[in-house]
Amino acid sequence: MYSSCYFYLFHFCLLFITCLAQTNFHPKTFFLAVKQDPSTLQYITEIQQRTPLVPVKLAVHVGGENLWVDCQTGFKSSTYKPARCNSRQCNLAKSTSCGDCKTKNKTRPGCNSNACYNIVSNPALNNTFYSGAEIAEDVMTIQSINGSNTGPESRGPVVTIPNFIFSCSPSFLTQNLGKDVKGMIGFGQQSSVSFVTQLASVFKFSRQFAICLSASPQENGIIFIGHRPYLFALGFDASQDLFYTPIIRSSPEYYLHVSSIRINAKTLPLNNTLLSLGGTRISTAVPYTVLEPSIYDTVSKAFISEMPENVKTVSPVAPFKTCFNSSFIGISRLGYNAPGIYFVLHDPNVFWTITGANSLLLVKQGVFCLAFVEGKKAMGEAIVIGSYQMQNNLVEFDLPRRRIGFTNSLFFRQTMCSDQFYTS
């Protein structure tokens, strides 16, 4: 009922721009459930789109510029609208071409006359996977949070966005995305059609979102979109624990400055030029943090030497190169006992603490590996922070203030990303 009401109001809104002020509910925060696909290690969320509404599974890509979905196979919707050449939608979605789809006698979503296209890519594969995709609008719904509640009643109404702009890709682009995953949802910082930008502009809130990835493929984590608080069980507000570092580049992707790395008390001798010029990207499309080879080598040696004497290295298990016999690795509330890894950020007093839960991975019976991978020599970037290191940390992306916030492991607070009332 709320949805149809909202739908009506939105159309009304096109004539009277202040319409949101006339509704009595002003959602400032929305959420999506997010869960790891065990086969691809991608993090997957589900949106409701089209008329009639259907659930659509999408891989999360924080640096993605748009939401794209396979329209070639099984896309049915009575409210699908291709973006007409030179329209506002084409502009917002940075169209690169315009015209008629070749099989124009059979128009379908993704293939219409007088429609514009942009380029979409699948970074989960590699940079060779690009395609033109028809820019379009359709109905989408999203679950809001009722900020006046903290307990199990904290879900607010489902809200409808009648004209959500997305890109309609051919089916081949979904290769390797995992079972039933139909596209990707982008939260890039500069795009006018990224998920957070569109929601923020429709509902008039500040462009920010916070990601909390669960470590278990059986349990949902959460993406908060919009305003704080970020409430977990027992009323703990994770936004209180955030410490910030600046976003350092103008790029759809998110870069921050890692100025040095410490392991326990030792500051590692790393190439500062590489750290500053190459920079550090944070990406949900990469499963394990990738380190440039000279950095990997230094981190690996220091990690081994800081392990207790009785923990022996064993033959590596790909894609990892540093593995240990698990027999003497202890476990505590904070995860496996491992040397602390500290990514020192823009300021020597601001560092991200990576404990055993995010640095060691049980790869098979009896073998733990350092869950970082060695990049290619010519990777350009010094570090790409991947999803394993983000698990059970809350990471906030605050676009207007150009900063990224980290909480450190929620295990320090005896909670975790699945431990909230919204998605569990």
Ligand X SMILES: *[C@@H]1O[C@H](CO)[C@@H](O)[C@H](O)[C@H]1NC(C)=O
Interface positions with ligand X (CB under 6 A): 25, 105, 125-126, 128, 146, 148-149, 153, 156-157, 176, 271, 273-274, 277, 314, 325, 327, 366-367
b/e map 93-109, b = 16+ CB within 10 Å:
bbbeebeebeeeeeeeb
Nearer to ligand X, 78 or 127 (CB): 127
Nearer to ligand X, 6 or 342 (CB): 6
Distance CA 200, CA 177 (A): 27
3-state secondary structure of 17: coil
Nearer to ligand X, 77 or 271 (CB): 271
Nearer to ligand X, 4 or 126 (CB): 126
List Cβ neighbours of 406 (8 Å cut-off, separation of 6 or more).
Answer: 242, 243, 244, 245, 352, 393, 394, 395, 396
Nearer to ligand X, 5 or 334 (CB): 5
Distance CA 321, CA 369 (A): 8
Q: How far is the CB of 279 from ligand X (least distance, A)?
A: 11
Distance CA 152, CA 423 (A): 10
Task: Copy the structure tokens of residue 420.
Answer: 């909230």
Distance CA 407, CA 410 (A): 7
Q: How far is the CB of 284 from ligand X (least distance, A)?
A: 19
Q: How far is the CB of 105 from ligand X (least distance, A)?
A: 4
Q: How far is the CB of 274 from ligand X (least distance, A)?
A: 4
Cis preceding-peptide flag for 52 (omega within 30 of 0): yes
Q: How far is the CB of 206 from ligand X (least distance, A)?
A: 20
C-alpha closest to that of 32 among 204, 234, 236, 199: 199
How many CB atoms neighbour CB 3 within 10 A? 16
Q: How far is the CB of 382 from ligand X (least distance, A)?
A: 8
Q: How far is the CB of 406 from ligand X (least distance, A)?
A: 26
Nearer to ligand X, 136 or 323 (CB): 323
Nearer to ligand X, 291 or 354 (CB): 291
Distance CA 217, CA 93 (A): 33
